[in-house]
Copies of this chain bind each other. A is one copy, B any other.
Amino acid sequence: MSLMNDNIVLAIVDDHPIVIEGLRTLLKEEPQISIAGSFTRGKDFMDFLQHNKVDLVLLDIMLPDTSGMDLCRDIKKLSPDTVVLALSNHTERSIILQILQNGASGYLVKNVSSTELLNCLKEALKGEIAFSKEVKEIITRPSQHEFKQVPTLTKREKQILQLVSQGKTTPVMAQELNVSPLTIETHRRNLLQKFDVKNVAELIMAAVQHKMITGF
């Protein structure tokens, strides 16, 4: 886990060049941290990670290409010892828990102060879970409907969900995806089951609430 290493290799994945620049500047002050690279696309980082050792990643969970959630999982799969710190502006409890579920070691909202950022980095490297102040409050204040955790969907299911939200009917989807309508029906059934709902109306609502469909 490179706990006691005095030299920590860090990477930044964020599609905002300004944020990257800011992080670089702030972290440059810390001699024990060396920045291996910064990436605006998830795929680029994964390529990098294939050939390089990275101790800690600052990961924006809202990226253009991949979902940050999936990327986080991919990172931990490829390199389990790499500590992932999620960086985002979202303050929904479900999102925070979801990213933790996917292997992140902490969650920072982007309005952290520089000192807060460094503290969290240190905590995360010690193996602890690190939250910025605001996030801690969100975590400790649970809300009603968040008891049932966010269901994990397969690739195909996500795809079907998206199409359903676009008003596509089963036969239409079957044609588009070149599979039997009966197959689509099965996926639909599984979606309803996983979300614990009875029909599309509830399904869409649940998906929207968990931000699993964008809407735009």
Contacts and interface: CB of A to CB of B under 8 A. Distances in A.
Interface of A: 15-26, 40, 64, 89, 92, 110-114, 117, 143, 145, 164-167, 169, 197-205, 208-209, 213, 215-216
30 contacts: A15-B111, A16-B19, A16-B22, A16-B111, A17-B22, A17-B112, A17-B113, A18-B19, A18-B22, A18-B23, A18-B114, A18-B117, A19-B22, A20-B22, A21-B21, A21-B25, A92-B216, A143-B216, A145-B216, A164-B201, A167-B201, A167-B202, A200-B200, A201-B204, A204-B204, A204-B208, A205-B208, A205-B213, A208-B208, A209-B215
Contacts of A199: 167, 169, 200
Contacts of A145: 216
A212 to B, nearest CB: 13
Contacts of A16: 19, 22, 110-111
A150 B124 CA distance: 45
A160 B132 CA distance: 34
Contacts of A201: 164-167, 200-201, 203-204
